[in-house]
């Protein structure tokens, strides 16, 4: 059975702005992976209960996947008893998926443990994915050769115009679009509040909450290709049998 680990923020505020996990960005991938036959685990920076950004439960944002998740005892139980990333094993993890929410701008940044997990997952050849504000964690990461992880790769994340629209441009530590361009990433974006996903080999990024389903779907497709390739390599060649 393939495995996915969803990682959430543990932060509850960005300065004076109450925040947390944007629930769609966990709930939608959770069910997408589950429906594809994955074993899904939920982790967070500190472990334990994960705070949900109240805004993500408002009209227009509380999607069917969110409603299903909040009425799913097993799902809520996993959210309430999330695994701490310190000591998290990536053995056998096909997809490491960083969820968003403005809380990530607090505890996904300058986080040595998370940095190590991302770099290990990326260099392992398995899928490293993230959506919306989750990509803030990528800015601290490097490829095995020491260059910025996003350098030369197609990437996306919450755009400058979207950050301006929600009024938090001055609260976040940096604007994702600007940062990725500075690091040599090939930043791409779709229209605000529309789904946009970038697939750059084993690195998969989504622009905003509306990209959550498509980002998870891209992960499943990419992981399936990886699993198939490994299976093909591991099967010994057939031995010819000659009869006379």
DSSP of 99-135 = --STTHHHHSTT-HHHHHHHHHHHHHTSEEEEETTGG
Query: What is the spatial distance between Cα 207 and Cα 156, in angstroms, rounded to a whole number?
Result: 5
Tokens 């472990």 correspond to 47
Domain boundaries, the chain: 3-234
- Is this model's pTM higher than 0.75 or not? yes
Please check whether residue 76 is in contact with residue 42, taking contact to mean a CB–CB distance below 8 angstroms.
Answer: no
Question: Which contacts of 216-221 are long-range, i.e. CB under 8 A and separated by 24 or more positions?
Answer: 216/28, 216/29, 216/32, 216/33, 216/97, 216/129, 217/32, 218/129, 219/4, 219/29, 219/33, 219/95, 219/97, 219/127, 219/129, 220/32, 220/33, 220/36, 220/38, 220/95
Considering the four listed CATH numbers 3.40.50.880, 3.30.70.1290, 3.60.15.10, 2.40.50.140, the one that applies to the domain covering 3-234 is 3.40.50.880
Q: What is the DSSP letter of 192?
A: T
Q: What is the pLDDT along the chain (244 residues), one digit of tens a residue?
A: 999 999 999 999 999 999 999 999 999 999 999 999 999 999 999 999 999 999 999 998 999 999 999 999 999 999 999 999 999 999 999 999 999 999 999 999 999 999 999 999 999 989 999 999 999 999 999 999 999 999 999 999 999 999 999 999 999 999 999 999 999 999 999 999 999 999 999 999 999 999 999 999 999 999 998 888 877 765 555 554 444 3
Query: What is the spatial distance between Cα 127 and Cα 121, in angstroms, rounded to a whole number?
Result: 7
C-alpha distance from residue 24 to each of 28, 70, 75, 167, 212 (Å): 6, 11, 13, 20, 7
Q: Which of 133, 169, 4, 160 is nearest to 56 (CA)?
A: 133
Query: What is the spatial distance between Cα 45 and Cα 9, in angstroms, rounded to a whole number?
Result: 6
C-alpha distance from residue 131 to each of 73, 199, 206, 228 (Å): 25, 12, 4, 25
């Amino acid at each position: 059975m393939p495995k996915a680990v969803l990682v959430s923020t543990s932060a509850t505020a960005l300065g004076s702005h109450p925040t947390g996990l944007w629930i769609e960005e966990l709930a939608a991938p959770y069910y997408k992976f589950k429906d594809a036959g994955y074993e899904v685990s939920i982790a967070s920076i500190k472990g334990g209960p994960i705070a949900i950004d109240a805004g993500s439960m408002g009209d227009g944002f509380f999607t069917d996947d969110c409603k299903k998740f909040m009425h799913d005892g097993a799902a809520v139980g996993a959210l309430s008893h999330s695994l701490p990333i310190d000591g998290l094993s990536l053995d056998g993890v096909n997809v490491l998926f960083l969820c968003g929410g403005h809380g990530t701008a607090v505890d996904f940044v300058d986080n040595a443990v998370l940095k190590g997990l991302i770099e290990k997952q990326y260099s392992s050849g398995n899928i490293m994915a993230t959506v919306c504000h989750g990509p803030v964690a990528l800015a601290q990461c490097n490829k095995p050769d020491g260059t910025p992880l996003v350098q030369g790769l197609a990437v996306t994340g919450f755009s400058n115009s979207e950050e301006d629209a929600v009024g938090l441009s001055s609260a976040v530590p940096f604007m994702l679009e600007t940062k990725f361009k500075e690091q040599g990433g090939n930043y791409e974006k779709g229209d605000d509040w529309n789904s946009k996903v970038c697939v750059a080999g084993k690195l998969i990024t989504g622009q905003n909450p509306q990209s959550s389903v498509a980002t998870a779907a891209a992960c499943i497709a990419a992981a399936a290709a990886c699993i198939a390739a490994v299976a093909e390599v591991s099967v010994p060649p057939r031995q010819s049998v000659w009869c006379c």
